[in-house]
Copies of this chain bind each other. A is one copy, B any other.
């Protein structure tokens, strides 16, 4: 009866392709308790233990947690079928998430490849994208416009100190916009419109001739590029969603 061969941890580990530590662990959490201990306390595993280990390894290759495996093996009322279906669901969800990640990464890679290697640094430094660093993209968007040439001419002269100064001003107006957004102000309300005009004035002073009517295309651009939205949202969640309609309203009323 109990004449069958018993194995030590090392033997079972080698036979089954797991580590000794793994068996120690399974013993510690009660997932696989050795059939006996030698007088000196050594773990002794019998055939049933070996078979159970096979089951454990099988379920582990299916990605189930040790906790779930324990329930499947020990609780006769536990439905294997349901457990596997649930696991399938979880893996599918994980794959879906992974695919979304890939899309996001590809998008980011496309931006970087598109001669934008530095724009994120610039965003950090300047609180906004540095237009001089993505001429290709900007030209495709704005064409060979006067505004573009003007800002290119002006910004090429700015010193680091100028940029810091711009940064401060830009931050101030963005904070104002974020406050209004957080307070639930109407995008076409009086305060929002004033803030929008202040923003236009900022652009006008630092980049190119800009009045309220220019805020429409600007809103389009911000809406089209998450990175712009993120620089707004850095001042408070939802700011971009407030700024875009506010700029559009301002452009409308200005015409």
Contacts and interface: CB of A to CB of B under 8 A. Distances in A.
Interface of A: 1, 4-5, 14-17, 47-48, 50-55, 58, 61-63, 73, 76, 80-81, 84-85, 87-88, 91-92, 94-95, 98-99, 101-102, 104-106, 108-109, 112-113, 117, 120-121, 123-124, 127, 168, 171-172, 175, 178, 182, 230-231, 233-237
Given A62-B101, A81-B109, A84-B112, A4 B95 contact: no
A62 B4 contact: no
20 contacts: A5-B175, A15-B178, A15-B237, A16-B234, A47-B127, A47-B235, A50-B234, A51-B231, A53-B234, A54-B230, A63-B101, A73-B124, A80-B120, A81-B109, A84-B109, A85-B109, A91-B102, A92-B102, A94-B94, A98-B98
Taking the full assembly, how many copies of this chain does it contain? 2
Given A105-B88, A230-B54, A80 B237 contact: no
